[in-house]
Amino acid sequence: MSAPLQSDPKTLVSTEWLAAHLKDPDLRIIDASWYMPDANRDAEAEYEAAHIPGARFFDIDEISDLRSELSHMAPPVEKFMSRMRQMGIGDGHQVVVYDGSGLFSAARVWWLFRLMGKTDIAVLDGGFPKWKAEGRPVSDEPPVIRDRHMTTRRQNTLVKDVTQVARAAKLRDHEIIDARAAARFKGEVPEPREGLRSGHIPGSKNVPFNTTLNADGTMKPTDALAKVFEEAGVDLSKPAITTCGSGVTAAVLSLALTRLGKNDHSLYDGSWSEWGMYADLPIATGES
């Protein structure tokens, strides 16, 4: 049996930690549930039916750069600030973000806050499923919103675009780590998004995001996490770029790397939705 989670309000906190801090005046909770279309789940409707008391709903698809043809790309700073103000989230708040899968899309919002220069944010380990399984309180009432100004400072080192990733793949000076399932990484199955080629970025390593998690949706302890990356052939001494299908589960790997004390990593926001679309970008299939 693994040791209990050491809660860290900048990365990952336990349900016990959140329950103990639930009534803190400067705590803000976010429900960042998001599902793949084939899941046939309505994240916002589920939030309205039941959520952790005081939680605000974060719409990953809407709080994005809607000028882009790609899904839920990071929003402009001004839009992010505006939406957070509307949600009553600002300077001086400790934020805890969770999702309805356990640990899936919440990490994307954790990464997005960090991209905007906000580090007082943690993912709820095990998410809403663990919270409910433990019989903790839920509510269907909307939160009381009070405006709070948010100061942001975009951290451009935390994100990579397609040109930067292509350069890294050519020079092999970064570890590119792909969070998709092995069959998608190897190009053995069609991509769920129409019109995309199958395979992976040449030279990238495959660490399916769920291999960083326990069966109950909680994140593995750091010693086990280190082993997951090691067994995938990842050289943690190199700077890393995380990627996936559309930039959501890549953030689970970003969270895992941060838990390991590794901070020289960034996320490829376009991910395979972008790379797989362009015929002039190289792809690889099989194991590597």
Q: Please identify every residue annotated as catalytic.
A: 244
Please state, in angstroms and rounded to a whole number, the distance separating the CA atoms of residues 242 and 108: 12
Please state, in angstroms and rounded to a whole number, the distance separating the CA atoms of residues 6 and 14: 8
Provide the residue type at 193 as one letter.
R
Please state, in angstroms and rounded to a whole number, the distance separating the CA atoms of residues 23 and 145: 15
Please state, in angstroms and rounded to a whole number, the distance separating the CA atoms of residues 181 and 175: 18
Nearest Cα to 250, choosing from 120, 104, 129, 33?
104
Cα 172 to chain centroid, rounded: 24
Backbone angles phi, psi at 16, to 5 degrees: -65, -45
Tokens of 248: 């959501």
